[in-house]
Amino acid sequence: MSQDVPPAPEALFTGSSQMHALVRAHDWASTPVGPVASWPTSLKVLVKTLLGSRYPMILTWGPQLSQFYNDAYSAVIGDKHPGALGTDIRGTLAEAWDALGPLVMEAMTTGAASWVPALMLLLERSGYREESYFDVSHAPAYDDTGAIGGMLAVCAEVTQQVLSGRRMRLLRDLSARASDTRSVTKTCRDLMSAMAEHPLDVPFALLYLRSAEGRTLTLSGSVGVAPGGPLSPESVALDPALPEAAPFLRALEGGPVRRDGLEALLSLRGGPFGDAVGSLLLQPLAGAGSSAPLGVLVTGLSPNRAFDEGSASFFELLAAQVAVALRNARAYEEERQRAEQLAELDRAKTAFFHNISHEFRTPLTLMMGPLEDVLAQAQVTEAARRDLEVVHRNAGRLLRLVNTLLDFSRLEAGRSDSRFEPIDLAALTQDLASNFRSAVERTGLGFTVDCAPLPEPVYVDPRMWEKVVFNLLSNALKFTFAGSIAVRLTAGDGDVVLRVSDTGTGIPAGELPHLFERFHRVRNARSRTHEGTGIGLALVRELVALHGGDVRVESREGEGTTFTVHLPRGLGHLPSERILAPREEEPPSQGARPFLQEVERWADVEPEPPVTTVSVPGVGAESGMKSGAEAPRQRVLVADDNVDMREYVARVLSPSFDVMLAADGQSALDAARANPPDLVLTDVMMPRLGGFGLLRALRESPATRAIPVVMLSARAGEEAAVEGLEAGADDYLVKPFSARELVARVRSMLELARMRRDSLRQELVAASLRERLQARDDFLAVASHELKTPLAAFRLHLERLERGLGDEARNRVQSPLASAGRQVQRLHALMETLLDVSQLTTGRLALDLNDVDLTTVVGDAVARLRDEVERLGVKVTLEAAAPLVGRYDRLRIDQVVTNLLANAAKYGQGRPIEVRVAAQEGTARVTVRDEGIGISAEDRARIFERFERAVPGRNYGGLGLGLWIARQVVEAHGGRISVDSAPGAGATFVVELPLEGLKAA
């Protein structure tokens, strides 16, 4: 009879994991579950299944709750593994048993399974009380009899997921709270309140902001700790000498700084289990771009979470979110401050306009009154009358501008002196528009005024309505050159509609939204004048708004523009206190006269030709010459869109110059291209083409590029002048200017232009001479090269002839042959010299540098020439030092020594020549001395130039190029050549070569 033997643990729990090995090796006999052989089959199956799973699982068995778990679960209990195997689970998870015990016991006693997601557990698995979260499931485990023998739990740690979700809510709350902030103070308060709602992640927080000067941090918000404590000072002086400033300085300069062991100083409990908080983190709050940090954020760290990589990333995002919110708040405050400053400047400007307008009226009254009295006198000469009319007309224009500024300043300040009264608006508008009929028809335009009777009077301020109509009509005439202008007044549904239409140049679509803005002017628009302040239409809008109405514009470029004014009928839209109200002041009304005086001058522009010429009698363009011997008068082209200014400049300049007048920049440009003037005098702001555009066009054309340009402008100040000069103008003259200053500037510019032309002419002559010299040098190079070929052939034939002669014939012709050979050699040397000149003058000299013994080169040259020189009775001595080896061109140094020896023999009067080579004072020196005729002081200054001889006027032969070539060669080596001589005392030439790269052999 056989008996079944239960398998051993080694055969039952096979597997390669750590827990398989631990279960096999464990002494189960010493545990309440007994040896493996006594285990029920159900327990063996459960343990085997558990060990084979990769999901965290734990099994408790028996009343002592002995525990079995797998490798995945071992990470859950941390440091308590592997000692927990086979022990009571209540000991292993003692700190978490309050939460887990009921679930375990429920499964073992009732057999009911449970599932709890994100269960918070207190674990001490890593050496501290840790906040952790698990998804857990507990189910009963049955024995072989079907009774509950234990509990099987499956769990998954979700701590990081729970923490991440909670931290994201905090960051989202920060963003939401800060998005509505409007100041730095409120932003700090909102940020702290958001953090206060998340104490598990931020037990406390302190927000320090850097002061404007950057030397102090100020506590601007706190949560969790009271301000003024040992770790929460209300201000921190950023002084490196202060210990309390050290962590803040490190954070500002290098990033996050963590401090631990602060439980006693903080006296704060935190985390889900109320443990002492002892760690904090200091982080810089980044400023915009590369600017300094805004401050420091101090946050407490939870005592129940390790400061791991996830925590570091969270606090980095937290500091970044706080910094963004603070930067936005500061940007808002700065923008608000700028807006307040601009508003204050605008109020100051309005007050200035109001005050200055009042101040202008008195001198203008004292100007215009006496002018009118003088003009009324019959004895005024015609010329004087014209001048006075110009003054009176422009004084009226200035008064109109002053009144406009005064009206505008009143409107801006809310102090308009309005008086609304019932008016027959059709009749009033008809009368006002009719004032312009003469001026409009003089320009050749059609003019239609259609003001049908209205069903009832309309409440308006007559003076304000007058300004509305006059501004719209003058604006229409300014921009209309062909077609017609129409004024129509009609009754609408509850309102009155005024339309002023023209067939003018139109307005670009991009300009329409800005048309009613103060001081806005359409750039580069074609108009009868470029003058104006840009406040006429802005004033119209304000005046219409005071009547409770609005003004609109419709326009198409090249087709025309229509302004439409809507005025409500009745009284309900008007302030009751201004109905038939008395005026505070009653200045005399100017009516249409200031507008008409200006537009009539515009009408005078059109009949004029684009360019007119003004000359004084007997001179000018017609006469061509003042008199038989005098030079022709210089011509000045004047471009200005103001008729009075053109006429004034013409009167000032015409006694001295022929003056051409142009009404705009385009006409001036056409005239300058057709017949270039001597000078252009141009205004900056003109229709069609402005002064800067005219200047650019003149400078782009070769025919007009050199014409002097003087710019006239009413823009005073250094910046305006610099802008004009940088654009290429020759001079800049600010209005107003005197007649004497204008004439002086024009004369000065014309004289400078003449000097520039003379200078240019001299440069052209010099360039021509340089070209000729270059051609000569090129010819010398080519000629020398071509002559060397026949000379070489000639020398070869002489040598062949000499070898072919017999002894008797050779003796008979030896002297002539030797003479012919010397002449060939002389011609060859001459060709070489000319080639050297060509290379040197064209910069093509190339040195062939090698290691050369300077002493040997000089010695070879002396030996080669000694026989020839001594035949002339001249003794040559050489004194040489030790060999000097350096980087030299052997042939060129030989050429220098040869030239110096030849000169010494030529001018030495048969006396001895001394040659010396030595190293002296850091240089290599070659000295050639003779006792000949010497050189005078005035001749020494030129002997190293081309084609110069030591003794001028005396024929010693040669081209005068040897010393010049010697100097060029020496200087190409980085050296210098000099001479010391006096008449009758000989000459000493010294060649000095640098010792860089030299070495003693």
User: Which three-class secondary structure string do you get for 935-971?
Assistant: CCHHHHCCCCCCCCCCCCCCCCCCCCCHHHHHHHHHH
Residues whose CB falls within 8 Å of the CB of residue 157, separated by 6 or more in sequence, listed in order? 56, 76, 132, 133, 134
Pairing of strands 635-639, 130-142: unpaired
SS3 735: coil
For position 658, what pLDDT does the model report? 92
Q: Are 720 and 674 in contact (CB under 8 A)?
A: no
Closest-CA residue to 70 (of 178, 153, 129, 157): 153
Looking at residue 409, what is its pLDDT?
62
Q: How many CB atoms lie within 10 A of CB 779?
A: 12
Helix (H) / strand (E) element for 424: namely none
pLDDT at 534: 64
Strand order across the beta sheet in which 130-142 lies: 66-69, 57-61, 148-157, 130-142, 114-123
Please count the other Cβ atoms lying within 10 Å of the Cβ belonging to residue 381. Answer: 8
Backbone angles phi, psi at 719, to 5 degrees: -65, -40
pLDDT of residue 363: 73
Paired with 148 in beta bridges are 142
Distances (CA, A) of 437 to 58, 498, 563: 107, 18, 19
Mean pLDDT by 10 residues, the chain (1001 residues): 58 86 93 93 93 94 94 92 94 92 93 94 90 95 94 94 93 83 86 93 95 92 92 93 92 91 91 93 89 93 93 93 91 86 74 64 66 70 74 70 65 70 91 85 87 91 87 84 90 90 86 76 63 71 88 89 92 83 57 61 50 56 43 87 83 90 90 92 84 89 90 63 73 81 89 85 80 66 58 60 62 60 55 59 71 86 80 82 81 85 82 88 86 82 70 52 82 87 86 64 33
- pLDDT at position 619, please? 42
Altogether, the residues listed in the chain come to a count of 1001
The neighbouring-strand residues paired with 449 are: 487
- The domains found in the chain, sorted by start residue, are 9-157 (3.30.450.20), 167-340 (3.30.450.40), 418-579+588-603 (3.30.565.10), 611-623+631-737 (3.40.50.2300), 846-1000 (3.30.565.10)
| Cα–Cα dist 563/586, whole Å | 30
Determine what percent of the chain falls in helix, strand and coil, rounding each to the nearest 5: 45, 20, 35
pLDDT value of residue 510: 80
Q: In one letter, which amino acid is 589?
A: S
**Helix 665-674 vs helix 691-700: crossing angle, to nearest 10:** 20
The whole-angstrom separation of Cα 52 and Cα 484 is 101
* Phi, psi dihedrals of residue 697, rounded to the nearest 5°: -65, -40
Q: What are phi and psi of 585, to 5 degrees?
A: -145, 150
Q: Which long-range contacts (CB under 8 A, 24 or more apart) does 933-936 make?
A: 933/907, 933/909, 933/983, 933/984, 934/981, 934/982, 934/983, 934/984, 934/985, 934/986, 934/987, 935/979, 935/981, 935/982, 935/983, 935/987, 936/982, 936/983
Residue type, 137: S
CA-atom Rg of the chain in angstroms: 54
Asked if residues 149 and 142 have their Cβ atoms less than 8 Å apart, the reply is yes
- Which DSSP helix (H) or strand (E) runs through 115? strand 114-123
Nearest Cα to Cα of residue 683 among 659, 643, 713, 661: 713
- Peptide bond between residue 82 and the one before it cis (omega within 30 degrees of 0): yes
Give the C-alpha distances (Å, rounded to integers) separating 450 from 430, 503, 554.
Answer: 8, 17, 20
